[in-house]
C-alpha cells in the first residue's frame, strides 16, 4: 500500500472513530457527560441520557460517517462531480432508512430544509441558500481525498460543488473548505501547522462563495484561536474551545473547535476523546478532527484495537473508497 493510500484510509478511519467516540455524548452538556461517563478514554455504549443515539453500542457510527460515505460514492459515480438530484434522492433514502429503524439520527437542520425545498419545487440552485450549519463540513473529507489543494480556487470549486445542494452559503462553504483543505494537505505530507494554514486560506476563499448570511468569519476565528492557545494552560485551552469558540452545529463554532483541537498537537486518539467530552455536537467535532488527524499522521494515529472494534461493529468500505477517490485525485492532478 502506498503512503498516500494509507493516509487516505486513515483519514476516513479517523472520521469514523471520532464519530463513534462522540456518539454517546452528542448533544449532551459537559456536566451530564461527566456524570454519565466520567472522562472519555475510548469507545463506549450510549448511556441512559443519550436520546439521539439511544441504545447504540460502543463503536457505532452516526450520520457523520454514513453521509461521508454517501458523498464518496457520489463523487466516484460522477467522476469528481456530485449530481444534485442524485444527492437529494440519496439523502432522502438515507433518512427513510434511519426513520424506519426508529433512529432519531436524521438529517441536520440545513440539509433537511434544503431537501424539503427541493421537494416543494424550489430550484436546486436555491435550495441550499440558508444552510450555515456543519452538515457539509462533517461529510466533506472525501473531497479532500479526491482533489489536490495546490490551486485553492479550483479546490474550493470542488468543495462548493459538494456543498451547493444543502449549504450554499459563505459560512457553509468556508467550513467545509477548511476541513477539506486540511485533509488534502495532510495527504500531501503537510504537518498539522501547514495543514491548518491551508484550512485558513481555503476558508477565506470559501467565505466568498454562495449566499451571504451574517456570521463570524471562520478563517479569522481559526487564526485567532491558533494564536491564543499557546498562551493558555491545558485546562484553559479546553474551556476556551468549549465556552468561547463553541461546539454547536453552527459552522463558525464546531468547525473552528475541531481544527483548534488539531492545533493543540496532542496525540490523535486522545484528541478525539477530548472532543467527545466537550459537550454539544461532539460526534461531528470529533469526526472532523479525526479526518484531519488521520490524513496528517496516517495509520499510526489510531489504536489497532479501536480500529478493529470499529470495523467489527460497522460495515465500512474505506479501503475501496480511498483507492477510488485517489484515482480521481491522480486524474485531476
* Helix (H), strand (E) at residue 318: helix 318-332
Among residues 142, 136, 91, the alpha carbon closest in space to that of 321 is found at 142
Tell me how far CA of residue 253 lies from CA of 71, 129, 217, 222, in angstroms.
23, 19, 10, 10
Q: Is the pLDDT of residue 204 over 60?
A: yes
Query: pLDDT grade, residue 95 (50/70/90)?
Result: confident
Per-residue confidence band for 56, with pLDDT thresholds at 50, 70 and 90: very high
Size of the chain in residues: 333
Give how far the C-alpha of residue 206 lies from the chain's centroid of Cα atoms, to the nearest Å: 16
pLDDT score of 311 more than 90:
yes
CA angle 12, 16, 22 (to 5 degrees): 145
Question: Residue 85: what pLDDT?
Answer: 79
pLDDT at residue 97 in the model = 76
- Helix-helix angle 251-263:192-206, to 10 degrees: 160
117: pLDDT strictly greater than 90: no
Q: How far is CA 87 from the centre of its chain?
A: 18
Q: Provide the pLDDT for residue 128.
A: 67
Residue 54 has what pLDDT? 87
Domain around 284: 3-332
Q: Please tell me the predicted confidence (pLDDT) of residue 10.
A: 98
In this prediction, residue 93 carries a pLDDT of: 80
Residue 58, SS3 per DSSP: coil
pLDDT the model gives residue 69: 95
Q: What is the pLDDT of residue 88?
A: 82
Tally of domains within the chain: 1
pLDDT of residue 94: 74
Q: What is the CATH number of the domain that holds 239?
A: 1.10.4080.10
The mean pLDDT of 19-37, rounded to a whole number, is: 97
**Least confident range of 18-27, 93-102, 238-247, 289-298:** 93-102
Amino acid at each position: 500500500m502506498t503512503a498516500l493510500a494509507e493516509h487516505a484510509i486513515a483519514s476516513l478511519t479517523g472520521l469514523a472513530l471520532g464519530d463513534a467516540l462522540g456518539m454517546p455524548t452528542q448533544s449532551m452538556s459537559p456536566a451530564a457527560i461527566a456524570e454519565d461517563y466520567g472522562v472519555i478514554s475510548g469507545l463506549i455504549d450510549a448511556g441512559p441520557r443519550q436520546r439521539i443515539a439511544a441504545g447504540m453500542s460502543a463503536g457505532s457510527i452516526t450520520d457523520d460517517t454514513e453521509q461521508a460515505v454517501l458523498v464518496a460514492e457520489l463523487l466516484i459515480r460522477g467522476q469528481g462531480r456530485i449530481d444534485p438530484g442524485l444527492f437529494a434522492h440519496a439523502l432522502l433514502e438515507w433518512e427513510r432508512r434511519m426513520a424506519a429503524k426508529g433512529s432519531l439520527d436524521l438529517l441536520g437542520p440545513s440539509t433537511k430544509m434544503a431537501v424539503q425545498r427541493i421537494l416543494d419545487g424550489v430550484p436546486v440552485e436555491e435550495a441550499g441558500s440558508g444552510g450555515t450549519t456543519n452538515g457539509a463540513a462533517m461529510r466533506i473529507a472525501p473531497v479532500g481525498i479526491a482533489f489536490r489543494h495546490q490551486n485553492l480556487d479550483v479546490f474550493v470549486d470542488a468543495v462548493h460543488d459538494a456543498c451547493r445542494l444543502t449549504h450554499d452559503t459563505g459560512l457553509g462553504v468556508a467550513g467545509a473548505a477548511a476541513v477539506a483543505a486540511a485533509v488534502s494537505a495532510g495527504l500531501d505530507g503537510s504537518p498539522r501547522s501547514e495543514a491548518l494554514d491551508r484550512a485558513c486560506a481555503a476558508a477565506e476563499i470559501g467565505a466568498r462563495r454562495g449566499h451571504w448570511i451574517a456570521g463570524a468569519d471562520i478563517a479569522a476565528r481559526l487564526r485567532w484561536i491558533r494564536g491564543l492557545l499557546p498562551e493558555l494552560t491545558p485546562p484553559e485551552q479546553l474551556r476556551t474551545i468549549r465556552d468561547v469558540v463553541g461546539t454547536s452545529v453552527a459552522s463558525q463554532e464546531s468547525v473552528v473547535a475541531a481544527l483548534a483541537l488539531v492545533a493543540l498537537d496532542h496525540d490523535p486518539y486522545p484528541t478525539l476523546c477530548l472532543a467527545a467530552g466537550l459537550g454539544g455536537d461532539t460526534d461531528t467535532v470529533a469526526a472532523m478532527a479525526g479526518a484531519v488527524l488521520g490524513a496528517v499522521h496516517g495509520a499510526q494515529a489510531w489504536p489497532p484495537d479501536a480500529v478493529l472494534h470499529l470495523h467489527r461493529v460497522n460495515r465500512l468500505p474505506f479501503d475501496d473508497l480511498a483507492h477510488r477517490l485517489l484515482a480521481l485525485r491522480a486524474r485531476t492532478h
